[in-house]
Chain A
Amino acid sequence: MKYNVARVVPWVGGYALLVLTPLMLAMIGASPAPRSFLVEFGVGLGFVAIALIGLQFVITGRFRSIAPVFGGDVVLQFHRQIGIVATVLIVAHPLLLVIGDPDYLEFLDPRVNLLRALALAAVVPAAVLLMVTSLWRELFRLNYEWWRAGHGVLALAVVFIGMVHGIQVGAYLGEFWKKGIWAGVLCGLMYLVIHTRVVRPALMKRRPYQLVEVRREVADVFTLVLEPVEHVGMRFSAGQYAWMTVGSSPYSMQQHPFSFASSAHSGELTFTSKAVGDFTSSWDAIEPGERVYLEGPFGAFTFDPTSEGAVFIVGGIGVTPAMSVLRTMRDTDDERPVVLVYGNTDLDAVVFRDELDELAGQLDLDIVHVLEEPPGNWDGESGFVDRDLLLRVLPADCRTYEFFVCGPEPLMDAAETALRDIGVTWRQIYTERFQIV
């Protein structure tokens, strides 16, 4: 895939327009007598905040029309960053109102309206909780499935209370037609949640997969080999990923994203993962014959057919999408140059080592192994994949290539800095994170 301004601008512009639509809608038609600037500003921020939160449902709805333009990682990073902005605005909304006119404290007075006071007193902490549990899930020792269920429920509660609050206050939404639009949007957002959690799993249930083999690659890295059950399977592009649910029900909260490891042209469907989380740690115990459900494919981590060459900067299990691309290149006799910078703790942790050596003989592939703890006779690169190393090992003629970065956070940060320093533009860089929350 290739990013370009013409594809990105309409999406970003459309998004900005949608964010401002509730505010603009509120200003049309009958409106209350103007109050102080701080109050009006606070009200405006409330409208923007509710639009931002509402649109988060669209952003994370895994619509295949959005993902191919930006890629799952970009969409998720945007979701995370814009979530912080939305939370700040949700907190700012009551603060500005109360500072502008302390009479607004009445909204939180249970003697005036118990239900309203409870709902509004809960919504701001709920929004803050939504943000902090996502940014620091591991610090709170929150299990992924519980976090995921809680994230959805909290987000729905925040948007529901926020939108009902807008109608109840009614200062800018007094007219029937405005209330109608507002209620329609709320119903639409509720439907999005139902679609993601009920309709889509129901569609997945019709296309089950079966686990045929669990392969141990190195110590704590396993490959799952799947085959479709009575359907043609999933067509994907090398480098993409799918959301996987293991077990009898596709409605489970235990749905995780994994990159395809197999060639897009072999007909085989494999996923390789390191036993790091609650889910992947159980991979070695999964028995062949187990039902698996896949949703996808997603992602823009794909080598564009028009590109001159590719550089993969990967760490640990981040090699998986690169393997899919390299295996596909082998199967399609793709002769374009590829550089793979592959960081690992030690030689035993290098996944697909033998196959990569084979691929280096079959493709125009340069592999730079980087080991944190190299063996005594190691004559390759050692240490971490950082800016200095990348500037040293990347070939001078790679500036026009596409760059794919997948690995732990420090490696991704180092790669960003190094690529900027050698003059690579944002249009050439694709990222994929394996730790999403």
Chain B
Amino acid sequence: MLHHNIRTLVLLMGLAFVGVAALVAAVRVT
């Protein structure tokens, strides 16, 4: 597995985690 693959995987995961946190927050305030 390449360094590049890991960076991409972590970036996607990071964005997904932030996205879920934002979604949860949006659901809470509506």
Interface residues of A (CB under 8 A from B): 3, 8, 12, 16, 19-20, 23, 27, 31, 34-37, 40-41, 43-45, 47-48, 52, 70-71, 74, 77-78, 81-82, 84-85, 88-89, 412-413, 416, 419-420, 426-427, 429-431
Q: Once the chains are docked, how many angstroms separate the CA of A20 from the CA of B13? A: 11
Closest to A71 in B: B1
Cβ contacts A to B, 9 pairs, < 8 Å = A12-B9, A20-B17, A23-B21, A44-B21, A77-B3, A88-B14, A412-B3, A413-B3, A426-B5
CB distance from A96 to the nearest CB of B (A): 9
Contact A36 B1 (CB under 8 A): no
In the complex, the answer to whether A40 meets B29 with C-beta atoms within 8 Å is yes
Selected from A3, A34, A84, A89, the residue in CB contact (under 8 A) with B28 is A34
Asked if B21 and A34 make an inter-chain contact with CB atoms under 8 angstroms apart, the answer reads: no
Cβ 8 A contact of B29, one of A8, A37, A429: A37
Check A16 against B16 for contact (C-beta < 8 Å).
yes
Residues A78 and B6 in contact, CB atoms below 8 Å apart:
yes
Q: Which of A43, A82, A419 contacts B10 (CB 8 A)?
A: A82
Residues of B within 8 A of A47 (CB): 21
User: What is B's interface to A at a CB cutoff of 8 Å?
Assistant: 1-7, 9-10, 13-14, 16-18, 20-22, 24-26, 28-29
B13 to chain A, nearest CB (A): 6
Report yes or no: A82 in contact with B25, Cβ–Cβ below 8 A.
Answer: no
Q: Is the CB of A48 within 8 A of B17?
A: yes
Could you tell me if A44 and B25 are in contact, using CB atoms closer than 8 angstroms? yes
Known contacts: A44-B22, A44-B24, A85-B10. The answer to whether A34 contacts B3 by CB under 8 A is: no
Give, as a whole number of angstroms, the nearest-CB distance from B22 to chain A.
6
Q: How far is B12's CA from A16's CA once the two chains are assembled, in angstroms?
A: 11
Known: A12-B9, A34-B29, A81-B6. A19 touches B17 (CB 8 A): yes
A426 close to B1 (CB less than 8 A): yes
Question: In the complex, what's the smallest C-beta–C-beta distance from B11 to chain A, in angstroms?
Answer: 8
Query: B residues within 8 A CB of A19?
Result: 13, 17
Interfacial chain A residues near B10, Cβ < 8 Å: 78, 81-82, 84-85
| Residue of A16, A41, A78, A412 contacting most chain B CB atoms (<10 Å) | A41
Residues of the B chain whose Cβ atoms lie less than 8 Å from the Cβ of A416: 2-4
| Contact of B29 with A36 in the complex, beta carbons under 8 Å | yes
Q: Max chain A CB contacts within 10 Å: which of B16, B18, B21? A: B21
